[in-house]
């Protein structure tokens, strides 16, 4: 079946540095991908909608300059957490739907654990 892959699955970075998380659709093209954040024992909160070839759409309260999203191709979206701080430590998850499919076909990545020390 269709697969969405995230890399890295776990990353530890120092406070003040930046870290990039990749989300790839392995066997389909996705014009739109979504980035979510999940705190321990909490639900998933949508951060932004990543649009291929255009700017991402951020949800209210999400700093676009801190969470940089790039969707340079139909199979890859990246989330860069800039100047990371310990409060950015979280589980980041992406999802994608095949281009041309209806909104009920959604594939999630395995998620990326970010720990900022």
Partner 1 sequence: AQSVSQHNHHVILSEAASLELGCNYSYGGTVNLFWYVQYPGQHLQLLLKYFSGDPLVKGIKGFEAEFIKSKFSFNLRKPSVQWSDTAEYFCAVNPNTGTASKLTFGTGTRLQVTL
Where residue 83 falls (left for φ over 0; alpha for ψ -120 to 50; beta otherwise) is left
By CB under 8 A, residue 32 contacts partner 1: yes
Select 14 or 41, whichever has its Cβ closest to partner 1. Answer: 41
Q: Where are the beta strands (DSSP E) in the chain?
A: 4-7, 10-13, 19-25, 32-38, 44-51, 57-58, 67-73, 76-81, 90-96, 107-108, 112-116
By CB under 8 A, residue 94 contacts partner 1: no
Select 47 or 116, whichever has its Cβ closest to partner 1. Answer: 47
Which of 42, 55, 64, 85 binds partner 1 (CB under 8 A)? It is 42
What's the rounded Cα separation, in Å, for the pair 99 and 17?
A: 34
Total residues in contact with partner 1, by rule CB under 8 A: 25
Contacting range for partner 1; rule: CB under 8 A; set: 15-23, 28-36, 66-74, 75-83: 28-36
Rounded to the nearest 5°, which phi and psi values hold at 86?
-55, -30
Select 19 or 92, whichever has its Cβ closest to partner 1. Answer: 92
Which of 45, 68, 74, 76 binds partner 1 (CB under 8 A)? It is 45
Task: Give the CA count within 13 Å in the CB-facing half-sphere of 100.
Answer: 3
Contact positions toward partner 1, by CB under 8 A? 30-32, 34, 36, 41-46, 49, 93, 95-97, 101-104, 106, 108-111
């Amino acid at each position: 079946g269709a697969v969405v892959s995230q890399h890295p699955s776990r990353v530890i970075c120092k406070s003040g540095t930046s870290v990039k998380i990749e989300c790839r659709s392995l066997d389909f093209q996705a014009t739109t991908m979504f980035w979510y954040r999940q705190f321990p024992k909490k639900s998933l909160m949508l951060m932004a909608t990543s649009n291929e070839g255009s700017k991402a759409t951020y949800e209210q309260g999400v700093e676009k300059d801190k969470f940089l999203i790039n969707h340079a191709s139909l199979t890859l979206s990246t989330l860069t957490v800039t100047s990371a701080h310990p409060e950015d430590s979280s589980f980041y998850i992406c999802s994608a739907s095949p281009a041309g499919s209806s909104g009920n076909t959604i594939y999630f990545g395995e998620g990326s654990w970010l720990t900022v020390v």
